[in-house]
Amino acid sequence: MNSTGQPLVELRELRYFAALADELHFGRAAARLHISQPPLSQTIANLERKLGTRLLDRTSRQVRLTSAGAVLRDHAVRVLGDVEDAVAATRDAAIAESSTLRIVVAAPARETVVTQVADGLANRFPLLVLAIRETTGNTLIEQVLQGEADVGLAVAPVPTSGLLTKELRRERPAALLHRDSALVTRDSVSLTELAAHPLLIWPRELCAGSHDLVLRMFERAPPVATIELERYDRGWWREMVAGAFAVVPAGSATTPEFVTLPIDDTDAEFVTEIVWSEYAPPPVLPVLLDALDDVSEAHGWL
């Protein structure tokens, strides 16, 4: 501390110096810190003045650490690491103390990511209770915006005012077919081949994003018929047996009666996103997003 009670060296100054000590180049260090070079140079000069010693030897060709600079670098790395650990531990404690996280899930996400997300959060926050409800995509967005859920896991959510999102998983589309379909002997199937059969699809009033994504896939070769079914009921299964098909994320679970085939001539993707209200984000959102990044990386979703 100095005579005013303020710390002699600020964390910002240590962070700037650590980046420069790592890069040994003012331009690269400034770019890494997302600042311009003059503020970096000024900060280092002020730091040297405070400490009363040169930290760097500068020439027109290179930048090198002095002995004092090497000592400060080692301590700065350790201090900054301790600060990051403290922040992470505090956030972990915050999410654990929240006791319950209300998650609303769209039906396609139920079949692909919910188990992995739940397991990942349980491993990191064993005291956290997950209250998971399933609904359709459009209702999911309404429940998040109205505060009935803390976050949602939505597949292809439609951009909505007041709704913020972060990608969690990308999946190629696949054709869902009954095992008696003539197409199941193939390794993959084309849009044109599928278009010769009726398409089963969720109504837009229930899942606008997924509905629109699937129909865009068939803009050039529309299916012979499009059948909207509101839920997975006996009518759905009867239509599948009758020769229809559905388009689902490639990782969707199936029963022995049904198979999924890759669709080989489309660039479309089902994107699962975590969504929350811009105006009432859950207090644990930052650490929750960090945890979900870890889950996504562990499973290779992006």
* 156 & 281 share domain: yes
Structure tokens at 251: 């990782």
3 within domain boundaries: no
What is the pLDDT at residue 94? 63
Q: How far is CA 120 from the centre of its chain?
A: 14
* 247 & 204 share domain: yes
Compute the average pLDDT of residues 76-86: 88
4 within domain boundaries: no
What is the pLDDT at residue 8? 82
* 220 & 240 share domain: yes
Q: How far apart are CA 42 and CA 185, in angstroms?
A: 69
Compute the average pLDDT of residues 111-132: 83
Per-residue pLDDT band for 237 (boundaries 50, 70, 90) equals low
* 150 & 107 share domain: yes
**CATH number of the domain to which 292 belongs:** 3.40.190.10
**CATH number of the domain to which 18 belongs:** 1.10.10.10
* Tens-place pLDDT, residues 150-182: 999 999 999 999 999 999 999 999 999 999 888
Encode burial over 176-199: b for 16+ CB neighbours within 10 A, e otherwise.
bbbeebebeeeeebebebbbebbb
Compute the average pLDDT of residues 46-58: 92
Is the model's pLDDT at 5 over the cut of 60? no
Mean pLDDT taken over the chain: 87
39 within domain boundaries: yes
Q: How far apart are CA 29 and CA 22, in angstroms?
A: 8
What is the pLDDT at residue 290? 86
Is the model's pLDDT at 234 over the cut of 60? no
Q: How far apart are CA 63 and CA 60, in angstroms?
A: 8
Answer with the residue of higher pLDDT: 131 or 124.
131
Is the model's pLDDT at 235 over the cut of 80? no
* Tens-place pLDDT, residues 243-295: 899 999 988 877 788 899 999 999 999 999 999 999 999 877 888 888 889 88
* 155 & 294 share domain: yes
Helices (H) and strands (E) in the chain, counts: 11, 12
Is the model's pLDDT at 102 over the cut of 80? yes
* 155 & 289 share domain: yes
Domain limits at 281?
A: 98-166+276-299
Of 53, 87, 121, the last residue of a domain is 87
What is the pLDDT at residue 129? 83
29 within domain boundaries: yes
What is the pLDDT at residue 60? 75
Answer with the residue of higher pLDDT: 2 or 116.
116
* 289 & 227 share domain: no
* 177 & 264 share domain: yes
5 within domain boundaries: no
* 18 & 151 share domain: no
Structure pTM?
0.67
Nearest to 271 by CA among 134, 160, 109: 109
Per-residue pLDDT band for 4 (boundaries 50, 70, 90) equals low
DSSP 8-state class, residue 237: H
Compute the average pLDDT of residues 87-107: 74
In percent, how much of the chain has pLDDT > 70? 91
132 within domain boundaries: yes
* 162 & 288 share domain: yes
Answer with the residue of higher pLDDT: 229 or 185.
185
* 157 & 179 share domain: no
What is the pLDDT at residue 118? 87
* 264 & 191 share domain: yes
Number of folded domains in the chain? 3
